[in-house]
Structure 1
Amino acid sequence: MPVLISSIVTYSPAYTIVPTYECFNRCTYCNFRSDPGQSPWLTLAAAEDIYKGLQNEQVCEILILSGEVSPHSPQRAAWFQRIYDLCELALAMGFLPHTNAGLLRFAEMQKLKSVNVSMGLMLEQLTPALLKTVHRHAPSKLPELRLQQLEWAGELQIPFTTGLLLGIGETSDDWWETLAAITQIHQRYHHIQEVILQPHSPGTQQTFDAPPFDPHQLPAVIAKARQILASDITIQIPPNLVKDERWLLACIEAGARDLGGISPKDEVNPDYPHLQEQELREILQPAGWELVPRLPIYPQFDSWMSGELQAAVKQWRKTLTPVSILQGQGSKNLPIF
């Protein structure tokens, strides 16, 4: 029986590559960063070995996730070149790169577009109040700079993922204002693929002394977000941060339709192991949801890519799109793969 589009939940078969954990920001809730100079950079040779090991694993997305080197650092150019080279190598070895490396210059984004099918940057929260608390020592967390990156992505026609971090000292009104800002920019450029709603989940490295965001609040937040966001923006939630299966299903019922990249390790939340594909399937299927793999770029954005990237994406679409869905609905009606 063909799968109905309304019953589909997607995820990306992904693997995260970290060029460096060093970061000049010091967000107090972070469980990812290390101090500048304390984290060796990933070499291209080491990355090539990793990519080779993934070539028979049905991994389509390589998420390039990096700590930020200061734009004023003498290491900035080398850092950016390493990210570019890692993307170029991933593409050459048959993968689809997606980069999230913090704030980038317009020219850097423009160059990365040639070796990425999509990119991302979390807005987290736009309230300036956090600059006095969790973002006090985080120069790149200025709200106006992060909004500018979303604008640039639209101008450059880069399919983009952004999101909110919930429970870091903001108010509910801050959520709605941030979501409204995302929609406003999207209505101008129509380039936002997904918005992630990520609950703060305490880890062993952070210094931020606050409880986890109550996952029981998430369904209501998702439902309201669904009303604020444009209808063609998918809401994503990280299932490893919603421990209770009932509340994970409640989040999906409320309007979340994507579970993000599923890889061996959640680098941002290393204390919370990813639920793997089969585990998720066992939760979703009894409730009537079909878990379906997707690419890191949605079909409506294919024409924004170079011919080389389009060819790579076309091949992956043939590999990942379930036949039953194509037979039942027609691929032109599927905004999710």
Structure 2
Amino acid sequence: MSIHNTRLITYSPAYTIVPTYECFNRCTYCNFRTEPGKSPWMTLAAATSILQQLQSNNVCEILVLSGEVDPRSSRREDWFQRIYDLCALALTMGFLPHTNAGILSFAEMQKLKKVNVSMGLMLEQLTPALINTVHRHAPSKLPAVRLQQLEWAGELQIPFTTGLLLGIGETVDDCWETLTAISNIHQHYHHIQEVILQPHSPGNRGGVTPPLNDLPPFDPHQLPEVIAKAREILPPDITIQIPPNLVKDERWLLACIEAGARDLGGIGPKDEVNPDYPHLQEQALREILQPAGWELVPRLPVYPQFDDWLSGELKVGVKRWRNGEVNLVSDIWDVEVGDLNPAISN
């Protein structure tokens, strides 16, 4: 039975690892980035320590979420290798990686497919007008470049998540245009798992890099209407995801679900993109959903219909999670892990 016809709401038990907060984009609303060269890269030894602590916490997904190093930079190759090695490390320790690292080349996506069960990139909005406003200092936010990523993911058969950022200067018609573009690409490749509808929520990353302007927050009370329209535009096999920590009113969270949202994304200790908005944890979400007749259930970062797209090693790991047979051991993986072994032994 399709999840859209049940009273089930899914989420991913997840933990986010950030290779670096540095980013060559300067989106005016960003609560995440730091200046290039001012964010130490996560070491593999540090990641090993984190992942060891997570092995007994029922975490399945490791979201590798990174700022972007300029593709022309001499540091790009090292940055990409660090991301690859972090994904490979997560696999060796029994987790299922999902990477969102911004714009990648076709070759980079092809390589990361070997160590990720799924990947993602937010389209945000396709309207060219934003290039002159919130994205005027964000070279990788060109609409054509981001659409190309979705097409490459389809060509490479990478299970993919994308989405819209709402309230950054777009019009309602812009939203429908972006959703239609996602729908058209999916109907050609059939590779998009989820579309996230994320309301812009201003914040300040502890004073590290304050946002550059004062865009008002997107009114979450408008979200159910957007979800309902998105449900009309998108094919039924794409799940609509909303971040519950950005919809604070319980009644409106339930209204979003009634309108067609069926997934709450990765739930972990911290929302790295919106650190001022703590995640609602599993039990708190159940207390909201159950009285309204909704059942909250965990899911993997790859949907079952895409299991056959995975390589042998990834498929083995996913099968173990689906069957409840997870043994957090490293002897089943056959991946290239750069300088991984020295880091593990430290």
TM-score (norm 1): 0.93
Which ranges of 4 or more aligned residues in structure 1 deviate by more than 2 Å?
A: none
Q: Which residue of 2 aligns with 1:58?
A: 58
Q: Which runs of 5+ in 2 are unaligned?
A: 205-209, 326-346
On the 8 A contact 2:4/2:262 being kept in 1, the answer is no
Describe the superposition over 1:237-257 as per-residue Cα deviations: whole angstroms up to 9, x where unpaired: 000000000000000000000
Does the residue aligned with 1:109 lie in a helix, a strand or coil? helix
State the match for 1:305 in structure 2: 310
Amino acid of the residue matched to residue 310 of structure 1? K
Q: Tell me which residue corresponds to 2:192.
A: 192
Query: What is the percentage of aligned positions where both structures have the same residue?
Result: 80
Change (3 A) 1:4 1:298: closer
Aligned pair 1:83/2:87, yes or no? no
**Do residues 224 (structure 1) and 229 (structure 2) align?**
yes
Q: Residues 5 and 290 from structure 1, CA distance in 2 versus in 1: closer, same or farther, beyond 3 angstroms?
A: farther
Equivalent residue, structure 2, for 1:286: 291
Q: 5+ residue gaps in structure 1? A: 321-337
Report deviation, 1:4.
10
Amino acid at match of 2:319: K
Whole-Å Cα distance in 2 between the matches of residues 174 and 78 of structure 1? 37
Helix, strand or coil at the partner of 1:15: strand
Q: Which amino acid aligns with 1:78?
A: D
Which one-letter code corresponds to 1:89 in the other structure?
L
Q: How does 1:258-337 map to 2 (within 5 A)?
A: 258-319=263-324
User: TM-score, structure 2 length as denominator?
Assistant: 0.91
Q: What SS does the corresponding residue of 1:296 show, helix, strand or coil?
A: coil
SS at match of 2:182: helix
* CA distance in structure 2 between the aligned counterparts of 1:84 and 1:152, rounded to whole angstroms: 18
Using the TM superposition, give the Cα deviation of residue 283 of structure 1 relative to its aligned residue in structure 2, in angstroms: 0.2
Distance 2:120 2:84 in 1: 15
* Cα distance change, pair 220–73 in 1 and its aligned pair in 2 (3 A): same
Out of 64-73 and 210-219, give the one that drifted further.
210-219
Separation in 2 of the partners of 1:15 and 1:193?
A: 19
SS at match of 2:178: helix
- 1:270-300 deviations in Å (ceiling 9; x for gaps): 0000000000000000000000000000000
Deviation at 1:319, TM superposition (A): 2.4
- In 2: Cα distance, 1:106 partner to 1:211 partner: 36
For 2:101, the equivalent position in structure 1 comes to 101
Aligned residues: 319
Contact 2:4 2:260 (8 Å CA) reproduced = no
Tell me the C-alpha RMSD between the 2 structures: 1.3
2:261 counterpart (256, 265, 274) = 256
